[in-house]
Structure 1
């Protein structure tokens, strides 16, 4: 992110000696600095664009001398030399680039076409037009590169919010160092108003953060001790301490930036087609231009070589595929930028392109459509001491990161009995937890786990509509907990919106009991719901859905167990920057907020991006086709050719960047 060099009176008059300069506190200091900054900007602009500026001044002067003043000294040799000098600043770099491409085996490039056309114009005496074609081409290129740079800069400035300092505990004091120099496991301090420089676990008992840079949420979020907080969060209300869990090179913001930068290298099918098309199209155009020059000699009685050679040059300039080759990738890049500003990271234009045609969406339940914040609603014990069960539950679940485990830990924390000794604890994916506590074998999990271990269930209703977690001690059913989750505020809206955008089918795959999954699915009006699935069973269900239904299938999930399914789907969408690293790394699209409705936003951006891309294709091909015909029959000059090439490219670029200003809410 760029930083302003303009000092306010307050900042420059800091009482700290290191921050004040000798004349900083004069009334005009800020004005003088602004003036100096403006001069630097102007000088930078002139340095970047001195070539087209020089050519423009020489061309305008030459035209005035040529057609208005007509001085005697402006003879033909001087005139030729004048226009050659005007041509060199803009023409020489393009011709050199064309020769470089020829040496690499890429003969028929836009540089080659522009070089032939402008050199040919000089050969037939059309000097001003030769300079003008190359000048306007260079101006168009500058506009296009500027648009790409702005789009890339907008994305990076949106995300590159990494602090440059960290207060790390070394000995008994906190030292200010660069975040790169902080190791995993070290303790850092973050003051109110500061951004967290690195990912870590909160040591302070409670804290509130502005998470909008990462999650897009406008309201502050509250975190408790040992919960994970991410780089980029802004500390809200007190000095906090945290233990670092990732290096500077691998923290959340750096990973997000890398995803965005890598996105530009993944081409959509449309981009790949246009680039392949341009490689075939360009040599065909050169052949047609050659035939346009030579063929009339056999059929036209008063054939004049210069006239038909001029038409061939016009044909070459018009046919340059710049508008297609540049504006189409820029359209997709603009779409990626628009998605990023809406809290959606798309890892490539191929994925952005694929989103437009999603026909089937498969959702995970917990943490995706529901808040994933479970709470224990009821607890029952069967012929077992409750205080002892609380101690067993707390000891077995406290180190697990699963949402249900967190709910049980929170429930038992205030009821925890005497300290216990835990000698073994392991998670059984899709089932629950196995632990040895005070020498007793403890099983905590769903009915599948109890059935697998042949444990008879006391007082359990199979018709229950809530998530039920069972507790077994030494092979005997000792108790159960009923746990419920809450549907996210915008889940209903998300399902309706994606249907309005053309999604034909929705599914939900859940590891929860079927009745609970059905309850959520019916409430959200999801077409089909599958519950009680292990991670590998989710993958099998997704493969069957892909086989049974045509069209693109997207899977939306947030947990570690969703990573295989995300990888299998046509488009994998990870829900939330707070989701698991495995899910985020595997996904093709990352929704930074916890809002399912952002899926509809992503599809809408994809569809509008595709519309703009096809508008650009139609504009370029339509105008070029018309002017090509006009050039072939002698109705168009090099000036019209310049519009058909550079003008259309500029219009296409302006149309492409329009998506960055659209509102998709």
Structure 2
């Protein structure tokens, strides 16, 4: 296990940190060879000196940590076990074995450092693509600047092949971008004027300029990197159990070793202290819980890394565990199962000029971030600029209310008109597509219909969830129930409910949890944040999702693909499987060699394998997760 507060330099650790280990190994092999050939001068103090130097080169740091922990009141830990076991070996004259135990323990530690560094590098390599310089446009000239010094509202230039350093809005002509660093999606994404590009994307086609919308530390990429750094700090239940277990297990092992040394005096004829002390030392080395304490957190770290490779961010190892218990998946519709890219289908106006109606509706919708609102504004272009609206407020689950020429304007669903006692034609309720109705000064004025499209991987997402053992799939939406039922039928979803307010979604999820179901909720909008928080595991669609949903979620899907929900479950199950393989391997081998050691059959060499060897095997098994294809 790494010493307390030890730092891992993500693989950049200097090579000279391994030099003491290499010298120690050379001295140990030389000492064993001299012992084997029976060299006369290699005895007494010279023999002790050679093996002693070899031991101190690797053991000094471990003994130091053991003493430091004892001073803090933490006596029974793996540093203490390794120290007394190896010093005890020196006491009874087993110098080579004492050095070997400590040396291979430190080599195992180097393996762990390298494995963790590799995991972190692989995660950061996927997403940390921030360039150190950026082309800042000032007074018509492009000057080189540090992206950390560029302010919001400034213009930066991105050349072909360059990585975007800061989040911003495309100015002028657009281009296509490689978004794999953020989403895991290899297909280029086309971005046009006014659309957002994020730090980490790569410009593929032509030189573009973007207006910076977020400071360097607030960019989407910086937030993702922060989430990755925090993720390894959130422990899973298994991890917490092993940590607690080690604190109870270690003192028990120490007292059993003392008993193994002293109790035979009362029961065994021809009792020899050194023989029974040797057995106790073997027992201590085998009992060291390094394999568990090292490999289990590393297994979860590997799971987080595997998820990152697949375009998902787990905010903690505990969620890798929780996701394996989920048996019910509840999903939002718009932006989660459907693309959230709406197209205007039909416009009906009553007693008003159609152009004015369109301009007024677009003027109000321009104040909203809802996908339907964006669709209307984009479809009708700059028409909304001609009309001035004020006092605009968003009424959750209903729509927008504002003032125009001292008249109250309502733009939203039929529930909004009902809320303000505005009568409208009943035939409107029979329209299947999404509909935006408009009322001016208390009178119905017309409507606009909009259609959405199911995401390409929507059907396969549902099929994969069933394949991975999800028994119930539910869809909750604020959209019209007729549309929701149509989408649910197409995707073969078990239950679907439309026309819901945010609080209605919360109620539905509470009902499912009250039935004893383990619920995962997947959403992308601000109104999904309360339900995401309530669910056992909350998913947010990260590429298009709102900041509120992403902040409250336990898992962020960067690709906006619903099929990734099943992938996340598969990664969680595989991680748990590898962790339990390590637990069974460690306990199985240790129990076997412990029995041999207690009866004097196993030596310290077998003890080394049972401790360090098993730890190394467990580490290799843990990092295997990142090599798997999901």
TM-score of the alignment, normalized to the shorter chain, above 0.5: yes
Which residue is 2:467 aligned to? 500
Which residue is 1:24 aligned to? none
2:621 is the counterpart of 1:655 = yes
Q: Distance in 1 between the 2:142 and 2:393 partners?
A: 37
Find the partner of 2:487 among 517, 520, 526.
520
Which residue is 1:185 aligned to? 153
Q: Distance in 1 between the 2:490 and 2:369 partners?
A: 28
Alignment of 1:284-363 (within 5 A): 284-363=252-331
Which residue is 1:436 aligned to? 403
Q: Distance in 1 between the 2:122 and 2:264 partners?
A: 52
The answer for unaligned runs of 5 or more in structure 2 is 1-10
Which residue is 1:567 aligned to? 533
SS at structure 2 position matched to 1:71: coil
Cα 1:205–1:534 change in 2 (3 A) is farther
Query: Is the CA contact (8 Å cut-off) linking 1:393 and 1:412 kept in structure 2?
Result: no
Query: Alpha-carbon deviation of 1:44?
Result: 7.5
Q: Distance in 2 between the 1:626 and 1:376 partners?
A: 71
Q: Distance in 2 between the 1:366 and 1:386 partners?
A: 28
Select between 561-570 and 338-347 the one with higher mean Cα deviation: 561-570
2:411 is the counterpart of 1:451 = no
Q: Distance in 1 between the 2:206 and 2:487 partners?
A: 39
Alignment of 1:77-88 (within 5 A): 77-88=45-56
Query: Is the CA contact (8 Å cut-off) linking 2:184 and 2:309 kept in structure 1?
Result: no
Q: Distance in 2 between the 1:422 and 1:462 partners?
A: 28
SS at structure 2 position matched to 1:620: helix
Query: Alpha-carbon deviation of 1:325?
Result: 0.3
Q: Distance in 1 between the 2:388 and 2:250 partners?
A: 77
Which residue is 1:629 aligned to? 595
SS at structure 1 position matched to 2:380: helix
Q: Normalising by structure 2, what TM-score?
A: 0.96
Alignment of 1:605-644 (within 5 A): 605-644=571-610
Select between 158-167 and 196-205 the one with higher mean Cα deviation: 196-205
Query: Is the CA contact (8 Å cut-off) linking 1:577 and 1:584 kept in structure 2?
Result: no
Q: Distance in 1 between the 2:214 and 2:496 partners?
A: 37
Q: Distance in 2 between the 1:321 and 1:447 partners?
A: 64
Query: Is the CA contact (8 Å cut-off) linking 1:207 and 1:237 kept in structure 2?
Result: yes
Query: Alpha-carbon deviation of 1:417?
Result: 8.9
Query: Alpha-carbon deviation of 1:400?
Result: 2.5
User: How big is each residue's C-alpha offset from its partner over 1:263-305, in whole Å with a ceiling of 9 and x where there is no partner?
Assistant: 1110000000001000000000111111111111111111111
Query: Is the CA contact (8 Å cut-off) linking 2:523 and 2:539 kept in structure 1?
Result: yes
Find the partner of 1:552 among 497, 518, 527.
518
Find the partner of 1:485 among 444, 452, 474.
452
Q: Normalising by structure 1, what TM-score?
A: 0.91
User: How big is each residue's C-alpha offset from its partner over 1:26-59, in whole Å with a ceiling of 9 and x where there is no partner?
Assistant: xxxxxxxxxxxxxxxx998640211111111111
Query: Alpha-carbon deviation of 1:155?
Result: 0.9
Select between 102-111 and 635-644 the one with higher mean Cα deviation: 102-111
Select between 461-470 and 526-535 the one with higher mean Cα deviation: 461-470
Alignment of 1:191-590 (within 5 A): 191-413=159-381, 416=383, 419-458=386-425, 460-548=427-515, 550-590=516-556
Q: Distance in 2 between the 1:50 and 1:551 partners?
A: 55
Query: Is the CA contact (8 Å cut-off) linking 1:202 and 1:241 kept in structure 2?
Result: yes
Query: Is the CA contact (8 Å cut-off) linking 1:382 and 1:458 kept in structure 2?
Result: no
The answer for unaligned runs of 5 or more in structure 1 is 1-41
Which residue is 2:20 aligned to? 51
Which residue is 2:612 aligned to? 646
SS at structure 2 position matched to 1:460: helix
Query: Alpha-carbon deviation of 1:593?
Result: 0.2
Q: Distance in 2 between the 1:179 and 1:521 partners?
A: 46
SS at structure 2 position matched to 1:595: coil
Query: Alpha-carbon deviation of 1:434?
Result: 1.8
Cα 1:478–1:370 change in 2 (3 A) is same
Q: Distance in 1 between the 2:254 and 2:390 partners?
A: 79
